[in-house]
Homo-oligomer: A and B are copies of this chain.
Amino acid sequence: MNSHEQPIGIFDSGIGGLTVFKEVRSLLPGENIIYLGDTARVPYGTRSPETVMRYSFECTEFLLNQSIKLLVVACNTVSAVSLDEICKRVSIPVTGVIGPGARAAASATKNKKIGIIGTETTIKSSAYSKAIRAMGHDIEVHGVACPLFVPLVEEGWTEGAIARMVVERYLAEIKDNGADTLLLGCTHYPLLKKVIQEVMGDVRLVDSAIETALAVKQLLVEKKMTAMNSAAGTSRFFVTDSPEKFISVGERFLETKIGTIEKIQL
């Protein structure tokens, strides 16, 4: 198997990374993609950094054994905590979700005020603010953790009065702060995009999943690794626990059937 035909590997702590999968699949229809959701140990967001690091190495190892040509860390927590360590350990190109999201937000803002929303761990890590500052931009960053968004999305309550009130409550601070750009720093949040946009008015939303897919495409082009066949690429899904739940919630994320799914132990 030459590098063109090798699959892209994507992993996340659970289901959320499917928003990244969806964008990569849509942007690169000819690529073979393997998705791993570590559903036995989700969520990573509440674990200690050492634990997250250990789990992420195990996910990486599994995907490397599937001969992937490029690794997508579709998990904000892992991208914040152990992306550098993963990059040191592997010889293939790697992208997380934070770099692409931060770059896009930094170039989108005009008034130099960016709001960032994510899980408690992502916000506490200041990973997005650090990424933006590392680009040398003089931008004011305001982060807010929104712990109820993930369960809302997994429950399918992405519209209606409850979603709206929860979104309003979490985003009030960022609205008051006058940011013109809001970065969705969690892979679940694109499913709440409609309500978030309604609440935020004409603020520009940056979706890390879309930006990550664009980064994947760019990396493949740079490294001359793009799939050469004109046929549709294959998709394989692996989970470490509860495949039924992954399918039922995952199909809402993908807006399509998942088909078969393989349960593995890491």
Contacts and interface: CB of A to CB of B under 8 A. Distances in A.
A159 interface: no
A23 interface: no
A39 B47 CA distance: 8
A225 interface: no
A161 interface: yes
A162 B169 CA distance: 9
A46 interface: yes
A48 B242 contact: yes
Interface stretch (A84-92, A105-113, A136-144, A149-157): A149-157
Interface string A39-66: 1111000111001000000000000000
Contacts of A46: 39, 42, 241-242, 245
Copies of this chain present:
2
A154 B150 CA distance: 13
Interface string A157-189: 100011001100100000000000000000000
Nearest to A240: B51
A47 B41 CA distance: 9
A135 interface: no
Contacts of A152: 148
A147 interface: yes
Contacts of A242: 46-48
A150 B147 CA distance: 11
Interface of A: 39-42, 46-48, 51, 147-148, 150-152, 154-155, 157, 161-162, 165-166, 169, 241-242, 245
Given A46-B242, A162-B166, 11 more contacts: A41-B41, A42-B46, A46-B241, A47-B242, A48-B241, A48-B242, A147-B151, A147-B154, A148-B148, A148-B151, A148-B152
